Amino acid sequence: MDNRTMARLLDEAADLMEIDGADSFRVRSYRRAAEAIAQTTVDLCTAAEDSVRLLAIPGIGKSMAANVQAMATSGSFPLRDDLLARYGAGVLELLKLPGMGPKTVALFRDAAQITTIDQLAEAIDAGRLAGLPRMGAKQLEKLRKGIEDYRRSAGRIRIDVADDEAKAISGYLLAFDGIDRVTPAGSLRRGRDTVGDLDLLATGAACAPGCTAGAVEYVAAYPGIHDIIAKGENKVSFHVHGGLQVDVRLLPTASYGAALQYFTGSKAHNVALRQRALKLGYTLNEWALARLDDGAVVAAASEEEVYAALGMARIPPEMRENLGEIELASRGALPRLVHAEDLRGDLHMHTTASDGRNTIREMAQAALACGLGYIAITDHTKALAMTGGLDEKRALEHIARIREVDSEMEGRIRIFSGIEVDILADGALDLDDEVLAQMEVVIASVHSRFEQPQEEMTTRVLRALENPYVRILGHPTGRLLLRREPFALDMGAVLRRAAELGVAMEHNAAPERLDLCDRDLRMAKELGCKVVISTDAHKTSVVGKMEYGIRQLRRAWLTPDDVLNTRNAEGFLAGLRARP
C-alpha cells in the first residue's frame, strides 16, 4: 500500500458514492482527500499510526484519517468495501469507458440492471437502451466504439503506472539480504507508452544457482500480490492488484548482461541479433554469448560486452525494435539520442487564468527549480468555457501579467507570453489575429468534435496551420492512452505542410497523452518537421517532468538537433515559424 494506491481507492469510493446517490459535499470531500494524498510527500503508511500527523495534511479530517489507517493495515476501508459488495467491481470498469460518468452508470444499473461492460455491450446490441434518457442512436454508437477501444487496450497499462509498480517492487526486493541489483526489462525499459506485463531482473548472492530458495519465498510474499501464477527455482510470476502480470527472475551476476539484453527485447531485435551471432560463429541466449564450436562463454556480464563482441556499440534500449539500429551500430553510426539534460525549456503550461492551479510566478519558480531557462505560459481560450478560457480582453490582460512577472524574474528565467488557442470545428481559431500577434508562443490544439471524419479533420487542422501566428500544433492527435483513440487525421499531410510553414509539432509528455506517438515522431523527423516537448503542466509539481515523453523521442531516434527546446531561449524562438 502506497500513497498512489490510497488515492486511487478513495477516488473509487467517490465514484461508488456518486452511483449510490450520496451527498455531493461528501463525495467532494473524498475527491479532495484523494488529491491531497496523491500530492503529499508524507509516506502515509509510515504516518498512519500518528493521527496528529495525518490531520496536519490539508484535506484529511478525522474520518478520512481513519480511512487512511484502515488502508494501511487492511488494504481497503469499510465504506469502499460495503459499496463494492453492493454494486460489484464491474461498475468501476464501466467508468473507464470514454464519456461514462457515475450518473450514467447509475442510470444503466437502475433501469437495465447493467453492472459490467459485457452486459452493456449485450444491451446495446439487443436494443434495450434505446428508450433511456440521453441514449439516442449517436450516443449508443459512441458507447459501442468506446467498448471496442477499451477491449483492444485491456490488459495494458500506461508507462508511468508500470514504472511506479516497478519501483515499488524493486524497493521491496532490494530490502532482501543478498539481492543487490534490480532492473526493469521488457517494454518498460524500451519506453513503450503502454505495458502489457512487467519483467524485473534481480542479481546478487541470493540469486546464484542453488542459493535462490530464500529469495524465491521472499518474492512470493510481496504484499502487493493478488495471486501467484508460477513459482520456480529462479522465477516468480504473479499478478498485482489491478491485474498487471509481473515476472521476477533471479539471475547469477555472471549472466546479468546477457539476460538483460535478452529480456529487454524486442523479439524482432533479438532474432536479428541472434542471426548476426550465428554468422559470427556464436550462439546468443539469456545466459551468454558463447562460441558455437566449444560452448566457451565470450560475453555475458554486461550488455556493453555482449554488443561489443558482436562488433557494435551498445544500442540504447529505446531503439531495439529492429528498425535498422543493428546496421547503424555495426557501422558505428548510432545517433546521439536526446536526454533529459538537453532540455532548456517547457513550452506548454496553464495557470489560474484558466484551469491551472498555480500562478504565473509559481510556475516560473518551479521551472527555475528544475534548472530550466525558459517557459511559455499558454492558458486556454474561450471556447473551452469549462476551463475558464480567455477571451480577447482577458488574453491581453494576461499578456501584461506574464510580461510583468518576466521582468520581475530579472533574467533568472525567461517567461514567454503564449496561449493554447482552440482550433474550432471549421479550422478557424478561437482568438482574433490582433491578439495572437502580440504573443510569442501560440499553440493551436483540437479540444472538441473528435468524431469528425478524417478528410474533415485534416482540412480543419491544415486550415489552422495556415494562420500565420500559429507556431506549434499541440497534442496533434488528441489521444488519451487507453481511454480515447486518436482522432482520424492524415498525419503525413499535416506534417508535410507544417514542415513547409515552419510550424513545430508538440510531443505532449503528459503520460496520459504522449502525443505524438513514437511512429508519428519518426515521420516528423523524416519530413523535416521540428518538434518541441512539453509537460502541459496544470500545477507546479508537473513542471519539467518530461521523463516518459523523452522516452518516446528516443524511441523515434530524435537527437537534440531535432528538438527545438534543447536550444537556449533565443535559439528556440529563432527555430519557430517567423512571425509576420
DSSP letters, 373-386, are SEEEE--BBTT-GG
Q: Which residue has the cell 492524415?
A: 490
What was the pLDDT predicted at 256?
Answer: 96
Mean pLDDT value across residues 447-453: 94
Q: pLDDT, tens digit, for every residue of 60-91?
A: 889 999 999 999 998 899 999 999 888 888 88
Residue 319 and residue 297 in contact, taking contact as beta carbons nearer than 8 Å: no
Q: Is 19 or 397 the better-scoring residue by pLDDT? A: 397
Q: What are phi and psi of 533, to 5 degrees?
A: -115, 135
Residue 194: all three cell numbers together: 503502454
In the prediction, which pLDDT does 59 show? 79
The whole-angstrom separation of Cα 66 and Cα 564 is: 49
Query: Could you tell me where the DSSP H helices lie in 359-426?
Result: 360-369, 392-408
* Stretch 534-549: mean pLDDT: 96
The per-residue pLDDT for 35 is 81
Please report the beta strands in 306-377, taking only residues with DSSP state E, as ranges in sequence order.
Answer: 345-346, 374-377
Structural domains in the chain, CATH included, are 3-153 (1.10.150.110), 157-251 (3.30.460.10), 257-330 (3.30.210.10), 340-575 (3.20.20.140)
Torsion on CA atoms 554, 557, 560, 565, rounded to nearest 10? -60
Contacts of 40 (CB under 8 A, 6+ apart): 3, 57
Q: Are 495 and 481 in contact (CB under 8 A)?
A: no
Amino acid at position 162, single letter? A
For 458-462, the CB contacts below 8 A with 24+ separation are 458/489, 458/490, 458/493, 458/494, 459/427, 460/423, 460/425, 460/426, 460/427, 461/423, 461/427, 461/489, 461/494, 462/427, 462/493, 462/494, 462/497
Among the ranges given (144-153, 334-343, 532-541), the one the predictor scored with the smallest mean pLDDT:
144-153
Per-residue pLDDT averaged across 533-560, rounded?
97
For residues 177 and 191, give the distance between their C-alpha atoms in angstroms, rounded to a whole number.
30
C-alpha grid cell for residue 416? 514567454
Residues 6+ away with beta carbon under 8 Å from 104: 134
**pLDDT (0 to 100) of residue 113:** 87
CA 442 to chain centroid, in Å, comes to 24
Residues 293-316, buried b or exposed e (16+ Cβ, 10 A)? eeeeebbbbebebbbebbebebbb
Contact 477, 509 (CB under 8 A): no
Give the pLDDT mean for 542-547.
Answer: 95
Most confident of 17-26, 139-148, 161-170: 161-170
> Confidence class of residue 370 from pLDDT cuts 50, 70 and 90?
very high
**Mean pLDDT over the full length of the chain:** 93
Q: Residue type at 510?
A: A
The bridge status of strand 289-291 relative to strand 297-299 is antiparallel
Residue 48 has pLDDT above 90, yes or no: no
Cβ contact 512:176 at 8 Å: no
Higher-pLDDT residue of 128 and 281 is: 281
- pLDDT tens-digit profile of 416-429? 999 999 999 999 99
Alpha-helical regions (H) of 21-116 = 24-39, 44-47, 51-55, 62-74, 78-87, 90-94, 102-112
Please return the burial class of 12, using the count of CB atoms within 10 Å of its CB with bins 0-12, 13-18 and 19+.
buried
Confidence check: pLDDT of 310 > 90: yes
Q: Is the pLDDT of residue 473 over 80?
A: yes
DSSP letter string, 536-579: -BSSGGGTT--HHHHHHHHHTT--GGGBGGGS-HHHHHHHSPPP
Distance CA 405, CA 240 (A): 47
Contact 356, 528 (CB under 8 A): no
User: According to the model, what pLDDT value does residue 347 have?
Assistant: 95
CB within 8 Å of 477: residues ≥ 6 apart: 486, 487, 489, 491, 515, 516, 517, 520
Burial of 368 (0-12, 13-18, 19+ CB in 10 A): middle
Quickly count: other Cβ atoms within 10 Å of residue 491's Cβ: 20
pLDDT at site 116: 87
Q: Kindly report, residue by residue over 214-272, the tens digit of the pLDDT.
A: 999 999 999 989 889 899 999 999 988 777 889 999 999 999 999 999 999 999 899 99
What is the pLDDT averaged over residues 469-498? 94
Rounded to 10 degrees, the C-alpha dihedral 6/10/12/17 comes to: 160
Please name the residues in contact with 438: beta carbons below 8 A apart, sequence gap of 6 or more: 396, 399, 417
% of the chain with per-residue pLDDT over 90: 72
pTM of the model: 0.80
Residue 311's SS3 state is coil
| Backbone torsions φ then ψ of 402, nearest 5 degrees | -60, -45
For CA atoms 262, 267, 271, 272, the dihedral sign is negative
3-state secondary structure 95-120: CCCCCCCHHHHHHHHHHHCCCCHHHH
Task: Report the percent of the chain where pLDDT is more than 70.
Answer: 99
Please compute, for residue 143, the number of CA atoms within 13 A of its CA located in the half-sphere on the CB side.
26
Angstrom CA distances, 114 to 95, 107, 111, 126, stand at 12, 9, 8, 13
State how far the Cα of 498 lies from the Cα of 527, in Å rounded to an integer: 9
pLDDT at 515: 97
Res. 152: pLDDT tops 70? no
Q: Stretch 445-452: mean pLDDT, rounded?
A: 94
Contact assessment for residue 465 and residue 501, using Cβ atoms and an 8 Å cutoff: yes
Closest CA to 489 of 451, 435, 527: 451
**Is residue 460 helix, strand or coil?**
helix
The continuous run of DSSP H or E covering 254 comes out as: none
What is the per-residue pLDDT for 546? 97
Do 337 and 557 form a contact (C-beta atoms < 8 A)? yes
Whether pLDDT at 153 is above 70: no
Report residue 431's pLDDT band, with 50, 70 and 90 as the boundaries: very high
Q: What is the pLDDT of residue 60?
A: 87
Can you give the C-alpha Rg of the chain in angstroms? 26
- Establish whether the linkage from the previous residue to 534 is cis, with ω within 30° of 0: no
